[in-house]
Structures are given as structure tokens and as C-alpha cells.
A and B are shown apart, each in its own frame.
Chain A
């Protein structure tokens, strides 16, 4: 290889690195993400989702008993933790949560194809990853906006009802945030998967159906192969084991082995991998 050719390749490589480093700061990405956020807020499906997400919180705060515990703040934390895990487990991370996230994001790209607006977007000097990452960010932030206050209300509401002392409330903030981040990344992975199906199909109905079938199929497969424990769905595993570990960490911090950091990275990796797949699919998508 000649020196010039080597220098050209190096320069191209450097340009690519700079290009990817600048990626999150590109204007179009944020414009698309803001638009996705606003558009979803105008979507009735979102309010149905918000209602379903808020049911367990309302149930916790007003439906269950709230007799103060006699064994002190630790017991209050334990109960609040268990109940929050119950919320994540029962409605937010599996079944209804999954379905609603899929309904929300599955037609994000296929809908654009149906309405011919993807072609309009492509008339602008933007890259396909602006579309993919912009939409992902918009939906993902929306989910965070939904689960952050609801989780906080559910968790601290129950702690107050159980009579936990104020300094305990403050000290358990990190555990709560850890749990929310894990739940958020899990739901974000559903969004990324929904976007992959949305890019694969050109009709909304097909992408929604295929996405929902795929996610349950994958979970059953994971459960069946024992990756997440026999007869367990992946979200079950996350909520029953991972979240439990994060939340219960407050009582045994010294023994905590930091597994959840690895889990966090794995979830981030899953999200990014799905987005890269989605980008590659969209990049190859022709618009007749």
C-alpha cells in the first residue's frame, strides 16, 4: 500500500470518527426527536398508555392498606421496594407495558412510509440515523417522563404511608433512580426493537403485529432456553432479579457485588445494537 493511499485511508477513518462523535449533537436529530415527542403527546394512544401506567400507582396509594409498620424504616423500605417491583413486574415491563410501547413506536417509520412523509424527510440533507436516533430519543424521553414521576410517587408515597423517617427517604434515592434507569432502559429496548420492525415493514399494521409477535416469541425462547431461568420471560427476570438486587441493595450495600452495573451496560449495548440494526435496515430501504 502506498503512503498516499494509507494517509487517505487514515484521513477517512479520522473523519468517520469525528463524524460519529458529533452524531449526538446534530441539529436534525434533536429536531426529529422533539417532533416525535410532541407528535406522541398529540396521540390518543399515549394517554391510554399513561392511564394504564398510572393504575398500579393509584392502586398502591389508594387501594392497598397503609398501616404504619412497627419495625421501623427498614421494614417500610422493604415493603415499598417489594411493591414497586410488583408495579414494574405486573404492568410496566411485561404484557401491557410491552404492548403499549410497541403500539406507540411500531408505526414510527412504517407510518411515515404509508403517509409518504419519509420521502419528504429524505428530501432534506439528513442521514437515516438522524431519523432512527431522533425517533428513539423522542419516544424514550417520553417513557422516562412517564415512569419517573409515577415511580417516585409510588415509592415515596408508600414509604410515607408506612411511616418511614425522612432521612431514610433521602438515602434510598439512589436505589430508586437505579431501578428507574433499569426499567427505562428495558422499555427503551422495546422501543428500539419496535423501530427495527417499523423499518422492516412498510405497513403500520404489519410492523405492529410482527413486533408484538416477535417480542413475546423472543421472551418465550429466552425463557425456554433457560437464559433467564426456566419458564421465565426476560422482563420477569429483569424485574424479579435485577431490580430486586438494585432496590434491596439499600439493606446490604456492603455485600453488593455491582452486578447491576454490568446489567446496565448490557442493556445499553442491547439498545445500541438494535438501533444500529434499525439504521442499517432503513438505510437500505427504497421508497418506490
Chain B
């Protein structure tokens, strides 16, 4: 039995399309999300990520196609779906005049908790998302980042087995981002399934085991990150050694390198894809033979970034330059 066969699929979309004013915002999207792990929905702004999530949570009705979340149709059986799902929308709607704790207690009671149980639960969650000291703060006076954490707290109230987080780190400062991403990682390690949408590639790469890349409403690719970036190598490299000038002179004579340049200690080079393996052995060998210290030798772009750029925007200057070079060479 293969991995994919043994995995339990908890979310399934089959050829889902959503039109707004006769414009397809999501088009024939078919996607499976297995139980466990963090699934990243990656795409540029306006790609259709939020619309997809809104259809998964029953906020929008698909124009065509079928969606199943835990076997339920989210549009017609939203209450059943929400018993198992915690959802952080892109824009968190809050009762501005209330205190953080009263707002969350109200929502927790809608989830079926008694008043006492709700207070107890809310205090735990507020501490968990890092705003435990703000339980009596009026929401309208909280910062955007704090409100975002409040939204995350709402998503966690019922201890859901599946979390849907639409841009969870939006409005957060760098420290807040790290905190929330670590928190999401913790939840995943507890066996929860998490769907996270973002246009910030490093975030997705840091925490997700699987991704789906979406652009202009189309799901371009999906799968494990390790599978997607397998055999994907960037052509641009950065090198930092103890003797940059000497190395630079050596590399000038290498025929398969182009765009060779030097900026301080950094050497930048573009390698012909046919000579990757030769190049990867050349640099360490040169350094070793000349007794230079090789401090850094890395691709200028991450492989996932390259996959993303090539898929999302094949007409971009970046991809265009690369393909024209390929044709020229």
C-alpha cells in the first residue's frame, strides 16, 4: 500500500469552480488534504486562496463542483463541519466594544460550553496565543496584531481537529510571526490537521509538509514539498570564501558560468544547468587545493521559490530571462 492510499483524506474538492460576476475566481479546483500535518495553500494575492477557504468553511457556495469536509458539504451542513473545524478568517470580525474575554466567552458558549467552562477555556487559550494579560482589554483599543491573535484564539476555542487559518501571520510583527508559526507547529505535533494560506513563501516552507500552489484560480501543483523540489536546482549561486578575488579570477575562465560578478566578499555566478554537478565539485576542489576557506556556497534562490515563480508567473522577467538564456545557449 502506498502512502497516499493509507492516508485518510479529510478535505476533498472535486472540480470546484466559483464565479464572481461571471469571472472565475477559482476554476476546476481539485484538491485532497490528508489527516495530520500542515498543508500550505500558497499563491500570490488574488490567486483564489481565500475564496477556496471560504468555500471550505461554508461562507461561499461553489458555482459548480463538490466539496467534502469530514464527509459533510460545508455549504449545506456548515454547523456539522464547524463542530470539527476551527477557522481564522482573513478579516477577523470582533465585537469592538467588548473585552477580549467577554467576546471569546460569548463565542465559546455558542460552541456549547457553559458560562463557567467557557471562562476557564478562554483563559487557557488566551495564554496559549500570548495575550493572557489582555483579557480585560477593550477590543477596539487592541492593536491589529493582538486582534489577529484574538481571532486565532477563537479558532482554537473548541479544540478542533482541523484548523483552517487564512493568512494567520498578517498584521503580526516579526516576533509575533515566529510565535504564531511555532504555535501552529505545536498544534500539528499534537496530531491536528492544519490548512494555512499565505503568500509568504518562507513561512509556508518553514512549517508545511505539503503545499498546493494556486494562481488565478487554478491549482497549479500540489504535494509534499520534498517531492516538489526534488531535482529542482537554481542556476544562480552565491559564494563566500576567504580569498574572493583569487577565486573570482579562477572562475572567469570557466566556460559554463555566466553573469559572473563580485560584490564585496560575495561572488555571484550563473551556471549552465548541464554542468551543475561539475560546478558543485569545482568550488570545493578549488578552495581545498588553494587552502581557501569556503564559508558559503549556496543557490541564490530557494528551490521552492523557483518552482513557485516558474509556475505562478511563467511570463515573469525572471522566468523569461532564464528561458531565453536556455534558448540562446
Q: Write the residues of chain A forming the contact surface with B, with a CB cutoff of 8 angstroms.
A: 27-28, 31-32, 35, 42, 112, 115-127, 130, 284, 286-288
Residues of A within 8 A of B95 (CB): 117
Question: Among the listed A120, A124, A284, A287, which residue makes an inter-chain contact with B92, where contact means beta carbons less than 8 Å apart?
Answer: A120
Q: Are B82 and A123 in contact (CB under 8 A)?
A: yes
Q: Write the residues of chain B forming the contact surface with A, with a CB cutoff of 8 angstroms.
A: 20, 51, 54, 57-61, 78-80, 82-83, 86-87, 89, 91-97, 106-107, 109-112, 154-155, 158
Closest to A116 in B: B93
Residues of A within 8 A of B109 (CB): 27-28, 31
Residues of A within 8 A of B58 (CB): 122
Q: Are A116 and B79 in contact (CB under 8 A)?
A: no
Q: How many A-B residue pairs have CB under 8 A?
A: 76
Residues of B within 8 A of A120 (CB): 89, 92-94, 107, 154
CB-defined A-B contacts under 8 Å, sample of 23: A27-B109, A27-B112, A28-B110, A116-B89, A119-B89, A120-B92, A121-B110, A122-B58, A122-B78, A122-B82, A123-B86, A123-B154, A124-B82, A124-B107, A125-B82, A125-B83, A125-B111, A127-B79, A286-B59, A286-B60, A286-B61, A287-B54, A288-B60
Contacts A31-B109, A116-B91: A123 and B57 contacting too (C-beta < 8 A)?
A: yes
Q: Are A119 and B59 in contact (CB under 8 A)?
A: yes
Q: Are A32 and B59 in contact (CB under 8 A)?
A: no
Closest to A130 in B: B110
A-B complex: 9 closest residue pairs judged by Cβ atoms: A116-B93, A117-B93, A124-B110, A120-B93, A125-B82, A287-B59, A125-B83, A123-B87, A31-B109
Contacts A123-B57, A125-B79: A117 and B94 contacting too (C-beta < 8 A)?
A: yes
Apart from the given pairs A28-B112, A120-B89, A120-B93, 9 other A-B contacts in the complex at a CB distance below 8 Å: A27-B109, A27-B112, A118-B93, A119-B89, A123-B89, A123-B155, A124-B111, A125-B79, A286-B59
Max count, chain B CB within 10 A of own CB: residue among A28, A31, A124: A124
Q: How far is the CA of A124 from the CA of B58 in the complex (A)?
A: 11
Q: Are B20 and A288 in contact (CB under 8 A)?
A: yes
Max count, chain A CB within 10 A of own CB: residue among B61, B91, B95, B110: B110
